[in-house]
């Protein structure tokens, strides 16, 4: 086993501290920040919809996130309530620590065994059993060495699944089978304490599994925030930011009342699944998100350093009342720029002075029309004809070949045919294609279409901007002067203006001078290549994937030469990092922002402290002294008289829970109940 140390920094920042930050040198700021660690707070009440940026509904298509293609999904410009579904999730992470463990390559399995072993020992000491939820994929495979762990009392384990595919338990795609093969079949967990998901269609599988969980004793699963609390939930993260089977922008993310949810259209096969709800996950005493290997580097960087709108990156919505640990290795941490975290520049997309987590309160006050962290604040005036996700209102109307709204988020669409702009499936993709054909970095937005007669015969010349230069203008200013291309609509639809972003905030822009020079040289080389490209050919047959592109992450022109010059940032082996999630200032009243007055963080009432190191369990959980084991309590004598001790761990004092424990419950709870 490897030694892991953890450093926790307090992240709660008072207005007084913000004022101090403005007048003191960075070293002092650092010191004071550390000193704040004792007052780390997390207020779960910030889940309150009334404090939401969208108090009456959340826009269906959030956008703003980096897609696997390397492009940013256009941010939502919505100022209205959207679907009418109450917006219950937001970045309730004020003052909440989470820990990133970076393991030396090749030692992740051992580190994972250590983490699980410690969590198991603590829970068994406290309440006599250890409840753990597993998921699928590489995270579970990494747990294989648990099979030979000698210091874990597996007889006290109660095992669940955070998500499961609706396949037979013998199917290689089954998460149950994955865990069974990795270690479960080799350790002595009593069979009735392993709660597998039944092989049923999603709706039935979810309700059956929910009933199983709801039927368990509150000594095993205390109720926290209305949800059963597991001691440890093990999760992975997919390249799109999904975790468990909670996928970006899917309706499951909005569910606030169920424990287990059916998933009938998973973008990752198989499409039928069940998953723990976000609320269930966030009630956990500890959540561990495992992402190891080079293949996870991009998504790890995105999850930890690029704040997305709620729903766009589900892994960012995992904010448990207890501890959250990102479990990485050197490879998966290789894209992180930890030095920036120390500099309170956690989110690369924050503009200088507008960072949510900087000390400059005045600069944090958005001006009318200002954009927070790349997203439109409500101060942005609505643009005629521009709806969610940058799609124009017209495009939101159903298309003849599209049964849905025609404005689905790109992530959820079937991959378009990529060989020509004309064959793109909607206006967003058409416009994106046009921007790419010009060598523009990314589509910024679709603008209202000008009259067809105004359309120029050729694509206009666009001014090149070195994307590695720190911009001298703000992003909002840039947005007022974007490059404009005109896109010929297919099927005689006339011409549409397309604005293409000339500059994209880059973390490289904040590198030391010398490294910036190297990047500029690489950029100049790319520019030369662009100029050499036959523009006429590109205009005649603009392929979405060919032609000059920016160096956006994932873009084909982010070539290996350029990448090889990138410095190795940040996280050194075994270095624990404590993160400070950004604050969602968009919730502040517009007037308060515009005034530039120091801001009280109104949406974080100083209420229940749920310390990260010593998470409080539900008041319903009996004190350890009174109920030192799952076997204690009024039922114990009756149960102990009739059954072997371990079986009593699965009691069913369900009175605190949803009384909806259905007849199915009786089929799945232990027979003595």
**Closer CB to ligand 6PG, residue 102 or residue 139?**
139
Question: Is 137 among the residues that bind ligand 6PG (CB under 6 A)?
Answer: yes
Task: Please give the Cα distance from 520 to 7 (Å, whole number).
Answer: 36
Closest CB to ligand 6PG among residues 182, 649: 182
Contacts of 198 (CB under 8 A, 6+ apart): 204, 205, 208, 209
Give the closest residue to 54 by CA, choosing from 77, 20, 31, 28. 77
Integer Cα distance of 371 and 352 in angstroms: 12
Q: Would you count residue 329 as binding ligand 6PG (CB under 6 A)? A: no
Report, in Å, the least distance between residue 294 CB and ligand 6PG. 12
Nearest to ligand 6PG of 76, 175 (CB atom)? 175
Would you state the torsion angle of the CA atoms of residues 50, 56, 61, 67, taken in this order, to the nearest 10 degrees? Answer: 0
Cis ω for the linkage preceding 63 (within 30 of 0): no
Cβ at position 641, least distance to ligand 6PG in Å: 40
Residue 236 beta carbon to ligand 6PG: minimum distance, rounded to whole angstroms: 2
The only residue of 61, 71, 94, 163 in contact with ligand 6PG, by rule CB under 6 A: 163
Tell me if 576 contacts ligand 6PG by CB under 6 A.
Answer: no
Q: What backbone phi and psi angles, to 5 degrees, belong to 325?
A: -125, 125
The sign of the CA dihedral 367, 485, 430, 506 is: negative
CB of 658 to ligand 6PG, least distance (A): 25
| Region near ligand 6PG per CB under 6 A, out of 117-125, 234-242, 554-562, 583-591 | 234-242
332 part of the interface to ligand 6PG, by CB under 6 A: no
Cβ of residue 273: shortest distance to ligand 6PG, in angstroms?
Answer: 7
63 binds ligand 6PG (CB under 6 A): no
Least CB distance from residue 111 to ligand 6PG, whole Å?
Answer: 16
SS3 content of the chain, % helix, strand, coil (to 5): 35, 10, 55
434, β-bridge pairs: none
Using the rule CB under 6 A, which residue among 40, 44, 58, 139 binds ligand 6PG?
139
Residue 238 in the binding site for ligand 6PG (CB under 6 A)? yes
Residues 192, 220 contacting (CB under 8 angstroms):
no
Residue 134 in contact with ligand 6PG, rule: CB under 6 A: no
Of 139 and 223, the one with the shorter C-beta distance to ligand 6PG is: 139
Residue 236 as a binder of ligand 6PG (CB under 6 A): the answer is yes
What gap in Å lies between CA 660 and CA 285, rounded to an integer?
Answer: 24
Could you say which of 86, 111, 136, 355 contacts ligand 6PG (CB under 6 A)? 136
- Please classify residue 663 by burial: count the beta carbons closer than 10 Å to its beta carbon, then call 0-12 exposed, 13-18 middle and 19+ buried: exposed
Interface with ligand 6PG: number of residues (CB under 6 A)? 16
Residue from 192, 199, 251, 268 in contact with ligand 6PG (CB under 6 A) = 268
User: Do you know the residue count of the chain?
Assistant: 673
Q: Which is nearer to ligand 6PG, 181 or 466 (CB)?
A: 181
**Can you give the three-state secondary structure of 510-546, one letter per residue?**
HCCHHHHHHHHHHHHHHHHHHHHCCHHHHHHCCCCCC
List 138, 489, 516, 543, residue binding ligand 6PG (CB under 6 A): 138
**Which of the stretches 32-40, 130-138, 473-481, 515-523 binds ligand 6PG when contact is defined by CB under 6 A?**
130-138
Instruction: State the DSSP H helix or E strand holding residue 667, giving kind and residue range, or none if neither.
Output: helix 663-668
d(CA 52, CA 312): 16
3-state secondary structure of 84: coil
CB of 135 to ligand 6PG, least distance (A): 3
3-class SS of residue 214: helix
Nearer to ligand 6PG, 326 or 344 (CB): 326
41, 99, 175, 501: which one binds ligand 6PG (CB under 6 A): 175
Span from 11-19, 215-223, 237-245, 544-552 in contact with ligand 6PG (CB under 6 A): 237-245
CB of 363 to ligand 6PG, least distance (A): 38
Tokens of 26: 């960075």
Nearer to ligand 6PG, 95 or 248 (CB): 248
Q: Smallest distance from the beta carbon of 297 to ligand 6PG, in angstroms? A: 12
The answer to whether 135 contacts ligand 6PG (rule: CB under 6 A) is yes
The CB density around residue 17, as the number of other CB atoms within 10 Å, is 16
Least distance (Å) between residue 310 CB and ligand 6PG: 19
Which CB sits closer to ligand 6PG, 295 or 606? 295
- Residue 386: alpha-carbon gap to chain centroid: 26
By CB under 6 A, residue 352 contacts ligand 6PG: no
- Rounded to the nearest whole angstrom, what is the least distance from the CB of residue 274 to ligand 6PG in the complex? 10
- Per residue, what are the HEC states of 422-460? HHCCCHHHHHHHHHHHCCCCEEEEECCCCCHHHCCCCCC
Q: How far is CA 424 from CA 225, 240, 409, 496, in A?
A: 45, 21, 14, 15
End-to-end CA distance of the chain: 40
Nearer to ligand 6PG, 175 or 665 (CB): 175
The answer to whether residue 243 forms part of the interface with ligand 6PG (CB under 6 A) is yes
Binding site for ligand 6PG (CB under 6 A): 135-139, 163, 165, 175, 236-238, 242-245, 268
């Amino acid at each position: 086993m490897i030694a892991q140390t953890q450093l926790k920094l307090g992240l709660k920042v008072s207005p007084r501290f913000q004022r101090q930050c403005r007048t003191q040198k960075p070293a002092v700021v650092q010191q004071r920040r550390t000193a704040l660690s004792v007052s780390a707070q997390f207020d779960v009440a910030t889940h309150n919809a009334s404090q939401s940026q969208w108090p009456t509904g959340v826009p269906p298509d959030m956008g703003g996130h980096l897609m696997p293609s390397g492009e940013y999904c256009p941010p939502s410009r919505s100022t209205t309530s959207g679907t009418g579904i109450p917006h219950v999730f937001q970045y309730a992470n004020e003052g909440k620590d989470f820990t990133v463990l970076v393991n030396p390559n090749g030692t992740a399995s051992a580190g994972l065994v250590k983490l699980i072993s410690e969590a198991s020992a603590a829970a068994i000491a406290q309440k006599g059993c250890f409840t753990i939820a597993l998921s699928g994929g590489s995270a579970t495979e990494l747990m294989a060495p648990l099979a030979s762990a000698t210091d874990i009392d597996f007889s006290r384990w109660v095992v669940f699944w955070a998500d499961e595919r609706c396949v037979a338990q013998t199917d290689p795609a089954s998460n149950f089978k994955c865990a069974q093969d990795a270690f479960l079949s080799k350790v002595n967990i009593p069979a009735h304490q392993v709660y597998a998901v039944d092989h049923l269609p999603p709706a039935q599988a979810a309700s059956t599994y929910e009933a199983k969980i709801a039927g368990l004793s509150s000594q095993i699963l205390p109720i926290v925030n209305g949800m059963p609390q597991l001691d440890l939930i093990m999760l992975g993260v997919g390249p799109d930011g999904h975790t468990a089977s909670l996928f970006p922008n899917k309706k499951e993310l909005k569910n606030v009342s169920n424990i287990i949810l059916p998933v009938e259209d998973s973008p990752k096969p198989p499409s039928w699944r069940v998953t723990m709800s976000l609320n269930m996950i966030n009630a956990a005493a500890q959540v561990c998100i495992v992402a190891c290997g080079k293949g996870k580097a991009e998504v790890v960087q995105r999850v930890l350093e690029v704040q997305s709108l709620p729903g766009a990156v589900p892994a960012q919505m995992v904010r448990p009342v207890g501890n959250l640990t990102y479990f990485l290795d050197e490879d998966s941490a290789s894209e992180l720029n930890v030095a920036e975290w120390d500099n309170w520049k956690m989110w690369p997309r924050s503009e200088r002075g507008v960072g949510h987590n900087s000390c400059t309160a005045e600069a944090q006050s958005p001006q009318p029309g200002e954009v927070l962290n790349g997203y439109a604040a409500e101060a942005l005036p609505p643009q005629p004809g521009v709806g969610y996700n940058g799609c124009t209102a017209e495009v939101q109307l159903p298309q003849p070949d599209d049964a849905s709204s025609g404005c689905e988020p790109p992530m959820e669409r079937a991959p378009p045919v990529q060989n020509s702009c004309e064959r793109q499936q909607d206006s967003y993709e058409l416009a994106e294609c046009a921007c790419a054909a010009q060598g523009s970095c990314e589509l910024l937005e679709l603008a209202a279409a000008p009259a067809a007669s105004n359309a120029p015969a050729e694509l206009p010349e666009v001014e090149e901007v070195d994307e590695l230069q720190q911009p001298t203008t703000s992003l909002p200013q840039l947005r007022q002067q974007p490059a404009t291309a005109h896109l010929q609509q297919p099927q005689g639809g006339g011409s549409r203006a397309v604005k293409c972003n000339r500059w994209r905030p880059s973390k490289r822009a904040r590198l030391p001078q010398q490294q910036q020079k190297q990047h500029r040289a690489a950029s100049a080389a790319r520019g030369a290549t662009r100029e050499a490209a036959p523009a006429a050919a590109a205009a005649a047959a603009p392929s979405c994937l060919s032609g000059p592109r920016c160096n956006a992450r994932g873009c084909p022109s982010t070539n290996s030469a350029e990448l090889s010059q990138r410095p190795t940032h940040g996280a050194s082996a075994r270095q624990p990092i404590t993160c400070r999630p950004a604050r969602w200032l968009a919730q502040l009243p517009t007037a308060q922002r515009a005034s530039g007055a120091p801001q009280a963080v109104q949406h974080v009432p100083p209420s229940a402290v749920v310390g990260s190191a010593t998470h409080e369990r539900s008041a319903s959980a009996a004190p350890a002294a009174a109920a030192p084991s799952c076997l204690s309590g009024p039922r114990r004598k009756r149960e102990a008289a009739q059954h072997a001790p371990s079986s009593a761990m699965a009691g069913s004092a369900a009175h605190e829970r949803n009384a909806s424990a259905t007849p199915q419950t009786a089929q799945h709870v232990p027979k003595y109940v």
